[in-house]
Amino acid sequence: MKDFTVLDLLDLDLKEHNHLRLRCIAGRSGLSRVLRSAMISRPGLPLSGYFVDFNNGSIQLFGKGEQSYLRMLEEKGELSSVEKILSSQIPCCVFTDSSSPSQSIIDMAESHAMAILTTDLNSSDFSRRAYSILDEVFAKTETIHGVLVEVFGIGVLITGDAGVGKSETALELVGRGHRLICDDTVRLKNISDAYLVGCGENPMFAHHMEIRGLGIINIANMYGVGAIREKKQVQLSVHLEKWDDSKNYDRIGDSLQAQFLGVKVPRVEIPVRPGRNVPILIETAARNERLKKQGFYSARDFDRGVMSWLESEATREMYYNTEVGEDGR
């Protein structure tokens, strides 16, 4: 991963509910500083002079409480702890609630080439949005060969050997009203070791597809912007492979799993041969996965029904095959 700087944080192209609404009010020469941590710190203890375990690699967030304490320190003329914070090579300071520090602190930040940012968000909203963004920025990543599509709201990662029909299958799914995230190469991100997010390796080419015999096509131009999206959580892995008569394929829906970057996702293996409608099978797998997330397991319910039937049949046979004795018992 390339270095992520304070300027990169300011330049992020974010939508409304994720927008950090940041602007720089001082220390522009420090915008090139690199963020070394996804953590956001509230410098309450350092302001009081306690610097044990101080994390100078994280953004320092000044909410209403910290701002009030700063004003008290200024009134007393005790700014040594502030000077120590600003000189400790932290990435930047963020003041929430449209607030900004006094001119003396701004001058201090300028002298240490340390950027001061402000936002009109409150501390809680800013922290929630920033953590969501920084978790992706500092996430472990892996690039794999495959196609990522959204089918009935489920992020489906389609993998398989070259020439097995991944792109053609994805194209048919787009034609059936589903959405393409990326084709050919998928960049996976491990978010907090909890789930995977997939996107295109290169955003400029993510929504183009290479179809043998047709060449390169632009999905957004052909099907409209409603047929694409930038990223999606990977919730199902579908592996396509050429039909092998010697292989015993799953017929009852046993739970297979794939693992990427240490995160496990449900896996389905679909053998491909002429006559099989693979897009419909993937749609069915996506529907089934949605049912599982709602607590309905078709294979488990079927197994439970079969066992109940067998037990009842066995009970009846035991009753009717029991020989009746001379005493009627």
Annotated binding site: 160-167, 210
184 is catalytic: yes
Of 94, 42, 102, nearest in space to 72 by CA: 102
| Active-site choice (8, 97, 125, 184) | 184
| Active-site choice (23, 64, 71, 145) | 145
How many angstroms separate the Cα of 93 from the Cα of each of 214, 245, 261, 317? 53, 63, 33, 78
Contact (CB, 8 A) for 267 and 146: no
Of 279, 185, 179, nearest in space to 238 by CA: 279
Determine the Cα–Cα distance for residues 250 and 263; give it in Å rounded to an integer. 23
166 is catalytic: yes
- Our CA angle for 89, 93, 95, nearest 5°, is 170
Annotated binding site for Mg(2+): 167, 210
| Active-site choice (76, 212, 247, 251) | 251
Beta strands in the chain (DSSP E): 22-26, 40-41, 59-62, 92-95, 115-119, 140-145, 147-151, 154-160, 179-182, 185-191, 195-200, 208-211, 215-218, 231-233, 236-242, 256-260, 263-272
Annotated binding site for ATP: 160-167
251 is catalytic: yes
Helical pair 166-175 and 278-293, crossing angle rounded to 10 deg: 70
Query: Which residues are identified as catalytic?
Result: 145, 166, 184, 251
